[in-house]
Chains A and B, each alone.
Chain A
């Protein structure tokens, strides 16, 4: 009978929707774009934090097996949390650490480094946030692991944790 068929169809669809919504409840509604990234590092020019010289990315990204590009700011609390991990990473000789100071007051940024230590070989600045967008970042802190061919192999959004540290060490072997 047509009616019974329609009823069964609607009930199936209702049950299907129920499970979809149930699953959706457990998913986060915050969008984290951590799987999508451009592989190739675009070239950019930036002003160094301490020397205030202008420097291009080609001059920075050379002579190393791996590079870790970390986007940070003095006003960013999670950046302070991940700082010890960055210091640990800087001891690794395979890796060149580059800090990108994001939308910050230069004096505050310098004070941050004096106070907490400098894990970076170079610190460049992104006063208007345009370079970060060029890299596909959207907030602080974010960390990019880049290989010697200037290809981005991993992106971390948010402060680095101990687990992330182990993962990075595995990657850069």
Chain B
């Protein structure tokens, strides 16, 4: 009770601090002296009050304080402590409080870490960021208050969805939000830089750190989401082109393009307009994502409970931000034509421009695929679905030239490359990739033209990036890791989709099923009673054609609050494949529906994505040490 009260008033105080901060900042803006220390203190206090509010909510959850509506809706006395705590941000209201917390932390960090930057720029960034922060405060207090009071106080809560009781899912939102909020800093600082005509090499060097931070967290956040979907949802897939997944991918694509562009801007004063456009777009996409997911406009497994009032609020807020950025960009930005340098065709600058060209194409595919059904429905009343086939057909053909450019690009020099120095090893790799892809695919009866060319391009990139590791050039280690990781990712996804297989059968206890590559034996079933659910574990033995035995024990959980049945897959992971078994009850029958899958190279998909993030982390460490 008390915790919720404190939480609520802290939140309100936090909002008032925004007003103080804006007032002091505007007053301090035109003084060309150093920044007013009160701004730091106020920002810190704002952060502190949001933090107190967040703790207040956590305590309410831990104490199962059901006088708080949010706690009542999302928790239960029998929930394990860890999930009571993670339940704090696993719901709409709590997750928004987390957004606010991260927003206030980041802007404070920005202020503290940007001491070498021009004062006006720092204050203006703070002002723009405060607009976003106020927007969130108003949104939370008006439509999504986590501290609403419930009377009479219920004795038990409605319980958290058991599917959400998972360690990976507990940390997936916070990490993702760190990425989104990072992109808000980039947004604010870009607008500030445009107004103050500070879009320069120095600014690029400074903002690159924030771009890296946002990018790393977004990559890991998406990775965690995919891993969770793979282990928990029971269909063995890791990406379904579901609107909510797309919504996290879009800012990532934009941010990756921005990351590459900022490399150019660091060295030469070109692409300034484009960098600003990307910075604005990344955060706009993050906010649009928030809108799409929380407004109930989309039909998806992942969406939060919907509420049109919230949807309208976010929509208006989003468009206010868009209008502000459009006005600022068009009225303040002048591309300094005279300092524009020339760009040679065979240079790193060009390959980065090409990278952006393709990235924007991929972004447009995902964006249009996600948003088109909404437009079509409103304009014509016709409802269509846009699913995986659409994205695959449009993305894969373009992936091939993209991979090839990726192989060539990083090896080009800045400004101009001497073409005569083409290495003999490149031609060697070219031929080897061709031969290997041909052989592998022919052997497995999958040699269509598109498969072969795609595999060839991925292999080529793979060999080139591996070779690059042996060029003892420590300078671009992070890029090498990142690109190598990407080639590995494409290869793993490719082999995974080509060489995975699955069997779906109905089996009774004691039955045996023989298939092409082995035998499945359903040996027995065990029942246990655990704290808040009843567990039914199936014992399966899989024997493959080489007489190797694997034991798999998928589990069925029957929860009591709310009454749900979930299916937990059992997965045995090796470097070459995951063996994946799920069982489901079939109503009114005494047999179980059993799905056995062999997922090729699954772990490499996770490892390669992690490598991408590692590349980013190396780059970040290097930048931080340079200062």
A and B touch in the complex (CB under 8 A): yes
Across the interface, do A18 and B375 meet the contact criterion of CB distance under 8 Å?
Answer: no
Beta-carbon contacts under 8 Å, A1-57 to B: 3-4, 6-7, 10-11, 14, 18, 20-27, 29-31
Interface status of B315 (Cβ within 8 A of chain A): yes
Nearest-neighbor residue (CB-CB) of A19 within chain B: B378
Q: Smallest distance from the beta carbon of A132 to chain B beta carbons, Å?
A: 16
Contact (A14, B323) CB under 8 Å given A25-B295, A25-B296, A31-B299 = yes
Residues of A within 8 Å of B374, CB to CB, are 20-21, 24
Beyond the given A20-B378, A24-B377, could you list 4 further A-B residue pairs with CB under 8 A, ordered by the A residue number?
A10-B326, A14-B326, A18-B319, A25-B311
Give residues in A with beta carbon < 8 Å to B: 3-4, 6-7, 10-11, 14, 18, 20-27, 29-31, 103, 105
Interface status of B116 (Cβ within 8 A of chain A): no
Q: Smallest distance from the beta carbon of B324 to chain A beta carbons, Å?
A: 12
Across the interface, do A7 and B326 meet the contact criterion of CB distance under 8 Å?
Answer: yes
Complex Cα–Cα for A6 and B329 (A): 12
Complex Cα–Cα for A25 and B377 (A): 11
Complex Cα–Cα for A6 and B273 (A): 14
Across the interface, do B378 and A24 meet the contact criterion of CB distance under 8 Å?
Answer: yes
> Interface digits, B288-319 against A, CB 8 Å rule (1 contact, 0 not)?
00010001111100000010100110010001
Residues of A within 8 Å of B35, CB to CB, are none
Interface size on B, residues (CB 8 A): 24
Complex Cα–Cα for A27 and B296 (A): 9
Nearest-neighbor residue (CB-CB) of A23 within chain B: B378
The secondary structure that dominates the B interface is helix
> Interface digits, B375-398 against A, CB 8 Å rule (1 contact, 0 not)?
101110001000000000000000
Nearest-neighbor residue (CB-CB) of A15 within chain B: B319
Nearest-neighbor residue (CB-CB) of B288 within chain A: A21
Nearest-neighbor residue (CB-CB) of B303 within chain A: A29
Interface status of B516 (Cβ within 8 A of chain A): no
Interface status of B474 (Cβ within 8 A of chain A): no
Pick from B312, B330, B383: contact of A22, CB under 8 Å:
B312
Nearest-neighbor residue (CB-CB) of A105 within chain B: B588
Residues of B within 8 Å of A6, CB to CB, are 330
**Which of A3, A7, A22, A24 lies at the interface centre, i.e. has the most chain B CB atoms within 10 A of its CB?**
A24
Complex Cα–Cα for A42 and B116 (A): 78
Pick from B322, B323, B378, B588: contact of A27, CB under 8 Å:
B378
Pick from B297, B319, B330, B587: contact of A24, CB under 8 Å:
B297
Nearest-neighbor residue (CB-CB) of B296 within chain A: A29
Contact (A25, B299) CB under 8 Å given A10-B326, A31-B383, A105-B588 = no
Across the interface, do B378 and A14 meet the contact criterion of CB distance under 8 Å?
Answer: no
Contact (A25, B315) CB under 8 Å given A3-B330, A7-B326 = yes
Across the interface, do A30 and B299 meet the contact criterion of CB distance under 8 Å?
Answer: yes
Residues of A within 8 Å of B322, CB to CB, are 14
Residues of A within 8 Å of B326, CB to CB, are 7, 10-11, 14
Complex Cα–Cα for A11 and B330 (A): 11
Across the interface, do B375 and A20 meet the contact criterion of CB distance under 8 Å?
Answer: yes
Across the interface, do A29 and B315 meet the contact criterion of CB distance under 8 Å?
Answer: no
Q: Smallest distance from the beta carbon of A27 to chain B beta carbons, Å?
A: 7
Complex Cα–Cα for A10 and B588 (A): 58
Pick from A3, A4, A7, A14: contact of B319, CB under 8 Å:
A14
Complex Cα–Cα for A10 and B319 (A): 12
Q: Smallest distance from the beta carbon of A9 to chain B beta carbons, Å?
A: 11
A-B contact pairs, 10 of them (CB 8 A): A18-B315, A20-B374, A20-B375, A21-B297, A21-B374, A22-B315, A24-B374, A29-B296, A29-B298, A29-B306
Complex Cα–Cα for A48 and B601 (A): 51
5 nearest CB pairs, A to B:
A29-B299, A25-B311, A7-B330, A23-B378, A24-B374
Complex Cα–Cα for A28 and B586 (A): 31
Q: Smallest distance from the beta carbon of B175 to chain A beta carbons, Å?
A: 28
Residues of A within 8 Å of B319, CB to CB, are 14, 18
Residues of B within 8 Å of A31, CB to CB, are 299, 383
Across the interface, do A25 and B312 meet the contact criterion of CB distance under 8 Å?
Answer: yes
Nearest-neighbor residue (CB-CB) of A26 within chain B: B308
Complex Cα–Cα for A10 and B335 (A): 19
Complex Cα–Cα for A65 and B306 (A): 45
Residues of A within 8 Å of B308, CB to CB, are 25-26
> Interface digits, B325-336 against A, CB 8 Å rule (1 contact, 0 not)?
010001000000
Complex Cα–Cα for A105 and B588 (A): 7
Residues of A within 8 Å of B299, CB to CB, are 29-31
Q: Smallest distance from the beta carbon of B332 to chain A beta carbons, Å?
A: 12
Residues of B within 8 Å of A3, CB to CB, are 330
Q: Smallest distance from the beta carbon of B321 to chain A beta carbons, Å?
A: 11
Q: Smallest distance from the beta carbon of B293 to chain A beta carbons, Å?
A: 12
Residues of B within 8 Å of A26, CB to CB, are 308
Q: Smallest distance from the beta carbon of A160 to chain B beta carbons, Å?
A: 24
Complex Cα–Cα for A14 and B378 (A): 16
Contact (A29, B378) CB under 8 Å given A3-B330, A22-B312, A105-B588 = no
Q: Smallest distance from the beta carbon of A103 to chain B beta carbons, Å?
A: 8
Q: Smallest distance from the beta carbon of A8 to chain B beta carbons, Å?
A: 10
**Which of A11, A25, A103, A105 lies at the interface centre, i.e. has the most chain B CB atoms within 10 A of its CB?**
A25
Q: Smallest distance from the beta carbon of B151 to chain A beta carbons, Å?
A: 30
Q: Smallest distance from the beta carbon of A50 to chain B beta carbons, Å?
A: 19
Complex Cα–Cα for A21 and B377 (A): 10
Residues of A within 8 Å of B312, CB to CB, are 22, 25
Residues of B within 8 Å of A30, CB to CB, are 299
Complex Cα–Cα for A105 and B311 (A): 43
Residues of A within 8 Å of B295, CB to CB, are 25
Complex Cα–Cα for A30 and B383 (A): 11
Residues of B within 8 Å of A20, CB to CB, are 374-375, 378-379
Complex Cα–Cα for A18 and B288 (A): 11
Residues of B within 8 Å of A24, CB to CB, are 297, 374, 377-378
Complex Cα–Cα for A18 and B374 (A): 12
Residues of A within 8 Å of B296, CB to CB, are 25, 29
Complex Cα–Cα for A53 and B465 (A): 71
Residues of A within 8 Å of B291, CB to CB, are 21
Complex Cα–Cα for A24 and B296 (A): 10
Residues of B within 8 Å of A25, CB to CB, are 295-297, 308, 311-312, 315
Residues of B within 8 Å of A18, CB to CB, are 315, 319
Q: Smallest distance from the beta carbon of A125 to chain B beta carbons, Å?
A: 13
Residues of B within 8 Å of A23, CB to CB, are 378
> Interface digits, B410-450 against A, CB 8 Å rule (1 contact, 0 not)?
00000000000000000000000000000000000000000
Q: Smallest distance from the beta carbon of A28 to chain B beta carbons, Å?
A: 9
